[in-house]
Chains A and B, each alone.
Chain A
Amino acid sequence: KAGVTQTPRYLIKTRGQQVTLSCSPISGHRSVSWYQQTPGQGLQFLFEYFSETQRNKGNFPGRFSGRQFSNSRSEMNVSTLELGDSALYLCASSKGRDRVSTEAFFGQGTRLTVV
């Protein structure tokens, strides 16, 4: 069974640009969550999607957005990039169904560097 796939693995962008990151969850999983990991803030929740709907949102500015497609694949977008957006972005996949799952499986992450 394939795991969670995130693309690209590494990305370098310039301040002011925008970026789109992609996540393919484990087959059959309908819940996708996104997290940001930085040395100073640790792992912070960005948002969660379930059946194409945003189910929960963390405390991040509106420059951070996401969406989920009918095949459960998800994308997150960051507009007007700032240096502080440099981080490891992680996607987590859970079964979800009508009730929440007890396990969340993470992808390898996308390392975003803003210069």
Chain B
Amino acid sequence: DQQVKQNSPSLSVQEGRISILNCDYTNSMFDYFLWYKKYPAEGPTFLISISSIKDKNEDGRFTVFLNKSAKHLSLHIVPSQPGDSAVYFCAARYGGATNKLIFGTGTLLAVQP
């Protein structure tokens, strides 16, 4: 049972445009959501997180939006740069005394120069 889903395996965007990566979840017990960027054979790099009590969090070019009623979150990257090309994972954390993360399957972002 995939509790965190990224339905788009890949996304291609022109440099300078906006990249929008989407993530859906099924478990309403998740209290935090995180986005990671990953290159092959390397560990994920933390990008940005959002609490379930907020609907938006912004950090530089990265903004995460959370729609709790739809159980949907998205990561916006503006403007997109070729260096942003990587696999992006969304992850959800259960409430309570744990840092256990449930990851989505990832979206490969390709930013074309």
Contact = CB atoms under 8 A, between A and B. Distances in A.
- The answer to whether A binds B is yes
A31 B46 contact: no
Interface in B80-101: 89, 91, 93, 96-101
A45 B46 contact: no
Contacts of B49: 102-103
B44 A100 contact: no
Nearest to B31: A100
Interface stretch (A12-20, A60-68, A75-83, A106-114): A106-114
What bracket does the count of chain B residues touching chain A fall in? 20 to 34
Contacts of A99: 97
A111 B46 contact: no
Select the residue from A4, A33, A99 with max chain B CB neighbours within 10 A: A33
Contacts of A96: 99
Select the residue from B45, B46, B51 with max chain A CB neighbours within 10 A: B46
A58 B98 CA distance: 12
Nearest to A49: B99
A92 B46 CA distance: 10
B86 to A, nearest CB: 14
A106 B97 contact: no
B7 to A, nearest CB: 14
Given A42-B106, A109-B41, A100 B99 contact: yes
A54 B75 CA distance: 32
Interface of B: 32, 34, 36, 41-46, 49, 51, 89, 91, 93, 96-106
Interface of A: 4, 6, 31, 33, 35, 42-45, 48, 50, 55-56, 58, 88, 90, 92, 94, 96, 99-109, 111
